[in-house]
Structure 1
Amino acid sequence: MGRLRNAKIHVERAIKQKKIFMIQGRYPVIRCLLRRRGWVEKKMVHHLGTTLLLPHKDLDSSVMGDSDTTEDEDEDEDEAFRLPQLFEFDDLLEFDDLHGTHALMSRMVRNEIPYFIWTTRRDVLDCRFLSKDQMINHYARAGSFTTKVGLCLNLRNLPWFDEADADSFFPRCYRLGAEDDKKAFIEDFWLTAARNVLKLVVKSEWKSYSIQAKEEEAPGAKKTVMCQKHGHKGLRCVRTPKHREAAGDKQPKKQEKKPVTVSPEFVDEALCACEEHLNSVAHVDIDKDVEAPLYLSPEGWSLFLQRYYQVVHEGAELRYLDTQVQRCEDILQQLRAVVPQMDMEGDRNIWIVKPGAKSRGRGIMCMDHLEEILKLVDGYPMMMKDCKWVVQKYIEQPLLIFGTKFDLRQWFLVTDWNPLTVWFYRDSYIRFSTQPFSLKNLDNSVHLCNNSIQKHLENSCHRHPLLPSDNMWSSQKFQAHLQEMGAPNAWSTIIVPGMKAAVIHALQTSQDTVQSRKASFELYGADFVFGEDFQPWLIEINASPTMAPSTAVTARLCAGVQADTLRVVIDRRLDRSCDTGAFELIYKQVRWLGPGSTQGGLPIVELRALRSHKPGSSHGPATVTGYSPFTPLSLHFPICKVDIL
């Protein structure tokens, strides 16, 4: 009887204080922390009706993972629940309700209104029927930045919201189901191939000097790598790895097959295509027909690509003249000023093809032949019709750790869309591939660090022994590694400011599409890959990021981010000065009430969110400008600058 009386008193207090919560799935950390705050759970059931719950949704999973159109990337990973052995908070996981007290209280509040709702997906609830004081952990219509297609489209509008270029932090991306995008991608592939030819010439020239210096040190060795054996003075060759292997130092047992050669005219074509691109960017060709092809006809480009494939993939010998080397260097230097992704795009023209209707890394492929990419997507006419196929430039020169690719999962929290209010989590984790990095092997096991893919694979025996067996590091371990490799300031001066800027820019361009609701909030997970210069590149943003304790690293960090989320969205409502844990407020706009408001003329605010940025650095803007969630208003309202908290 004492237990029943105490439960009844607790329930009455919770009802009076509006501390009734409802959770879809397990989420033991959220559940336990709410109970510690005096909240009582109302069990979520399948038949709540259309006023609260859309029918026929699966509610059994606790860790649905990350989103695309399905708002889910990682697979359910809490079937074998391991958190009690890994979690470090004292007694936090006493949620099993051994005495049935919580179940008893849940029955008592079964007809009460929940004032805090946590679900794995937004569409299990119809937010239109929620009252203003009911909190929920999702915003409607957030697909403008949590889907591959949405992010691809919306970041193109960034110049309307800020003085920034999305190409400086988001790899080039196209929708293959949209005719204009498809055409733009094909032209991009052509021009990238042309740039790569110039890169191969310059790279080969530098290697030639290196080889020549070594050969001069060796007695009796040849002192030139020029192709004078063909009778052309000043003619040089690009020797690809496959060609060098075929013509190696070992004496052949039989006559080797003569390698395929590509003439210097091929380099001239690449030079002319790049020069025309530069003229186009500079508007020198303003009188040219906009429908005219780029330098070559489509048929000419097809032949160009065939020779390009021969050189890059089949080991053909590319010949070039001494006079072409300086032209290649000069044009590449000019291109670097107008193509922000020159350094990361490599020279093999690899693109990553993503089916926008799938998630958890399913259906993603790395490809380096234009014809194969178009053939693949044309084989799915319904997906093409709905513009579901997305193709994105692959980062061919990523930052590696012990020769292995990795990406970083970065959490951030949005607590309001008008004014846009963004919290950035100071802790994050990186995920390693199970295989050593190689551009010659395009298998997903090498290039996709998604845990949904990698967890089914065994670590390669060729990996470095210092890599973790569970393929995860905390951001603290990553920072220690940067210190050891001689880049102690890369994290604070390049990586973090760049990630903050990318997140804010992605949200800025989505403000006019996301359905703002004052009692809502949402935790997102952004995935980044870094260039060799430590520049962060945003790959995607996930709604409902997985909270599964798949490793010791995620067990600690996922529990921590859930705990700190509650500090921000619940505790801070009562105490604005409360501890927000590892969350840092990085961006907050002045609320815009609209041109018809009696309080019109409200200034736009430029928030100095990235104060660690050093003036003159080329690694992103020092400030992030916060515009209204609609059209650019700088023509109508004054701009002022304030420092963020």
Structure 2
Amino acid sequence: MRADVSMEATRSKQSVQHGREDHPASNARNATYPGGDTTPKGKACHGFVSLTVLKQERLKKAKAMAENAVKMHKVFSVQGPYSVVRAALRARGWVEQRMHCPTQTDHRRHSNESGACNNNADYSGNLEKDQDPDVLYDLMSRLVRNEMVYFYWTNSVDTINTKSLQKEQITNHFVKSESFTTKVGLCVNLRNLYWFDSADPDTFFPRCYRPGPQDEMPAFIADYRRTACTSFLKYIVEREQGVQRDGNSHNIRGVTKRRKLPSSPVILSQMINSALKVCHEFLESLEHRDIDMHSETPPTLTKEEWAEFINGYYLAVHEGVEIENSDRFVTCCKAMLQRLLEVSPQQDIDGIHNIWIIKPGAKSRGRGIKCARRLDRILSLVDCDQTLTTDSKWVVQKYLERPLLVHGTKFDIRQWFLVTAWNPLTVWFYKKCYVRFSTQPYSLHTLDSSVHLCNNSIQKHLIPSRERHRSIPVDNMWSDDQFKRFLSSQGREAQWQTVIVPGMKKALIHTVQTTQDLMESRKNSFELYGADFMLGQDLCPWLIEINSSPTMAPSTPVTARLCAAVQEDTLRIVLDWTADRTANTGDFELIYKQAAVNMPPYIGVNLLVNGCKIKPPCSLPPMRSPNNSAAKRHDPVKKQPKAEQVNPVPKLLSKSAQSQINYTSKGVTSLPPLPPVPAPVKIVSPNLPMTVTSIPLPISPTSNTVLLWKRKPKVSVEVQPRTSLPFSNSPDKQ
């Protein structure tokens, strides 16, 4: 006992020495357990304060807030360092049920990548620490640890089991969003846009191919060759016109080392003639004039001719070999380019270098992305991993060689948008965005990622170039207001609202339209996406990719302000506006709300079908020939059947016809009138267990007797036609 007291005194002394006198736990002396036991002093462990050191008032307050949160269905759970989301939910009266992560290292990994943390009822271990040191939240988190969570905000959809969620539970992810948040999914789905809208994806999305499937590899090679032809025509025109694109590093004459191509006009004219032929064939295919061509029509250029053309193109454009006597071809080249510009919306961004960007289909943050300008280099990059090629995990996309630059530096725009429902489709556009710069000046003479990739995850590890303009900050970011000021200095500020913003809205709407049928629509689900855009020299936006779970890390002063604002405004839409349509939506703007589809009235699951059983048909008994019937009638030896033994006329005849037939011991004496034309008689009687169709009446020109029915072999019914029939004779003449 004395040892315990001395140890506790030592702990108290150490607590005072370490400056813990002002901690709330150190002031709570002689606190009591709910059962009445007392202990000297407690201690705080991993952010959770033991119940023994809490004041009774604090405990009552925590219990009251926790009970009210459970009653109002306001228990939430957040995975990752989303302090803004936590603070906004707590301000609305929500109580957090903490997610457990094993170690601090794992927590950092999950905050950077999509990880999974499972709920743990045992909160005695290491738990994720919040920026708010108030122990009241820690206590309430323990009080609701076994309660149902009504709001989930996680890094990944795989963190929770969405199939087990109840209708009232809210989550910040949709299932199957990879249909447009991966590069492969975006490439494939935008090709189906014509089923949903009349827009052309080539007006906002650079053409893209999957080199894995066998049917897309030839299409990519054909596009590369055709682009080489148009690029060569541009090179001839711009070279003779002396076009200097110093700002975009497109200086054609600026190659330091040049070699002279042998001054043979045949080689140059042959290359231009081949390029014109390929472009003309492409125009005819767009106008559907090639459908009349025979299937066995030889290609425009043979394999050897293509190899010769591509080699000459590399020498002229890539290696800067000088070409002489090309001025006389400028007119025809310019005319062809003008025709192509009318039908090809990507003509301005293609440039002359034929650069393509190779991307892993499912990676993010710029990992594994490379640029290449030679066809053999592109094919070698794609074929380096057969597994990825087979699974179609690579995409090859046309690179924007002539983007809009800010002081000679490339940039892209990160734009947020929010989807709150897929049926009916509801899309919100955020009015704020930010601009990301590369650390090196833009140039097409080098294809290094430091020049052409603007991802912050790549550029933050690089040192900015000294040659870069001083107006671009060291952290490589601008807000949208700073970018609009730059446009104002260029006299183009009005185009932000007339060209850039409308173009981004249309691109996002068309993208989600193509994936609506692939998504699993769930009520009380939402998701915030981050889209990356580049601008052409005409300020038209080009969609590059769409990211799920966009980073909200405050890496720069710009992102610290904007990322916090977009999280708060997202909760305004999901929680406040959903409950009250007049609530403030922040900087979110509703840009698309699909019209509700009228469903047919529900009539239940009972389906009744009435019908009758169809009996199988049976054949008629064999009919006797007219000669045999006549012989039997004139046989004096054979007796005729008695009247009472004659079976009644079958129901094949109607009642009115039966009433006109007189039966005697010698046969039938009268018969109802028959139709004048001896055509086949079609008899259908639903009362008989058989079906008789097309029965001709056997008529003999000699006996003038018609046999209608035979019931038994021993009984025969002879019918003598009336004299009024046009085909019968009088019985007296027989």
Letter in 2 for 1:175: R
Q: Secondary structure at the match of 1:416?
A: strand
Q: TM-score, normalised by structure 1?
A: 0.78
Distance 2:252 2:96 in 1: 65
Could you tell me whether the CA contact under 8 Å between 1:264 and 1:319 is conserved in 2? Answer: no
Are positions 1:526 and 2:526 aligned together?
no
Alpha-carbon displacement from aligned partner over 1:233-279 (angstroms, at most 9, x marks no partner): xxxxx994366x447xxxxxxxxx75556522111111111111111
Higher RCO, 1 vs 2 (CA within 8 Å, ≥6 residues apart): 1
Counterpart for residue 385 of structure 2: 380
Residues of 2 paired with 1:561 and 1:425: CA distance?
A: 8
Give the corresponding residue for 1:241.
253
- The residue correspondences of 1:605-620 to structure 2 (distance < 5 A) are none
Q: What secondary structure, in the 3-state scheme, does the structure 1 residue paired with 2:552 have? A: coil
**How far apart, in 2, do the equivalents of 1:124 and 1:291 lie?**
56
Deviation at 1:589, TM superposition (A): 0.5
Evaluate the alpha carbon distance shift between residue 121 and residue 290 of structure 1 in structure 2; reply closer, same or farther with a 3 A threshold: farther
Q: Partners of 2:251 and 2:459 in 1: how far apart?
A: 35
SS at match of 1:553: helix
Shift of 1:460: 0.2
Contact 1:7-1:101 within 8 A present in 2 as well: yes
Q: Shift in Å at residue 292 of structure 1? A: 6.2
Structure-2 residue corresponding to 1:507? 512
Number of corresponding residues: 528
Relative to the length of structure 2, the TM-score reads 0.69
- Which structure has the greater CA radius of gyration? 2
Alpha carbons of structure 1 residues 588 and 7: separation in structure 2 relative to 1, 3 Å = same
What is the letter of the counterpart of residue 362 of structure 1? R
Which range moves more in the overlay, 38-47 or 446-455? 38-47
Is the CA contact (8 Å cut-off) linking 1:267 and 1:320 kept in structure 2?
A: no
Q: Is the 8 A contact 2:360 2:394 kept in 1?
A: yes
Aligned match for 2:415, one of 410, 426, 432 = 410
| 1:109 aligns with one of 141, 144, 150 | 144
Equivalents in 2 of 1:99, 1:153: separation in Å? 50
Aligned counterpart in structure 2 of residue 559 of structure 1, from 538, 546, 564: 564
In the alignment, what sits opposite 2:96? Answer: 41
Post-superposition Cα deviations, 1:181-216, rounded to whole Å, max 9, x if no partner, equal 111111000000000111111112212999xxxxxx
Task: State which of 203, 207, 213 in structure 1 corresponds to 2:238.
Answer: 203
- 1:459 counterpart = 2:471: no
Q: How much does 1:338 deviate?
A: 1.4
Name the residue aligned to 1:139: 174
Give the Cα separation in 1 of the matches to 2:519 and 2:429: 19
Match of 1:158 in 2: 193
CA contact (8 A) 2:244 2:251 kept: no
What residue identity is the alignment partner of 2:547? N
Q: CA deviation at 1:357?
A: 3.4
- The answer (yes or no) to whether the contact 2:205–2:542 under 8 Å persists in 1 is yes
Within 5 Å, which residues of 2 pair with 1:433-472?
433-472=438-477
Contact 1:24 1:59 in 2 (8 A): no
Taking a change above 3 Å as real, the CA distance of residues 500 and 63 of structure 1, as seen in their structure-2 partners, is farther
Q: Equivalents in 2 of 1:37, 1:276: separation in Å? A: 65
Match of 1:64 in 2: 112
Cα distance in 2, alignment partners of residues 596 and 396 from structure 1:
55
Q: What letter corresponds to residue 287 of structure 1 in structure 2?
A: D
Task: Measure, in 1, the Cα distance between the counterparts of 2:244 and 2:501.
Answer: 38
- 1:403 to 1:240, Cα distance in 2 relative to 1, 3 A: closer
**Paired residue secondary structure (1:501):** helix
- Cα 1:444/1:289, change in 2 over 3 Å: farther
Work out the CA distance in 1 between the residues paired with 2:601 and 2:389.
Answer: 41
Q: Which residue of 2 aligns with 1:81?
A: none
**Amino acid across the alignment from 1:303:** E
Which residue pairs with 2:134 in the alignment? 99
Please give the secondary structure, in 2, of the residue aligned with 1:133.
coil
Tell me the distance in 1 between the aligned counterparts of 2:244 and 2:415.
Answer: 43
Which of residues 395, 400, 411 is equivalent to 2:400? 395
SS in structure 2 at match of 1:434? coil
- Structure 1 unaligned regions, length at least 5: 48-56, 72-93, 211-237, 248-256, 599-645
- Give the 3-state SS of the residue equivalent to 1:483 in structure 2: helix
Q: 1:341 aligns with which of 338, 346, 351?
A: 346
Displacement of 1:62 = 6.0
- Superposed, 1:177-192 pairs within 5 Å as 177-192=212-227
Would you say 1:547 and 2:595 are equivalent positions? Answer: no
Shifted more, 500-509 versus 566-575: the winner is 566-575
Counterpart in the other structure of 1:493: 498
1:233 aligns to what?
Answer: none
Q: How does 1:291-440 map to 2 (within 5 A)?
A: 294-319=299-324, 321-440=326-445
Question: CA 1:363/1:593 → structure 2, altered by over 3 Å: closer, same or farther?
Answer: farther
Q: SS state of the match for residue 138, structure 1?
A: coil
Shift of 1:592: 2.8
By how many angstroms is 1:484 displaced?
0.8
Secondary structure of the residue that 1:430 maps to in structure 2?
Answer: strand
Match of 1:12 in 2: 67
Contact 1:429 1:473 in 2 (8 A): yes
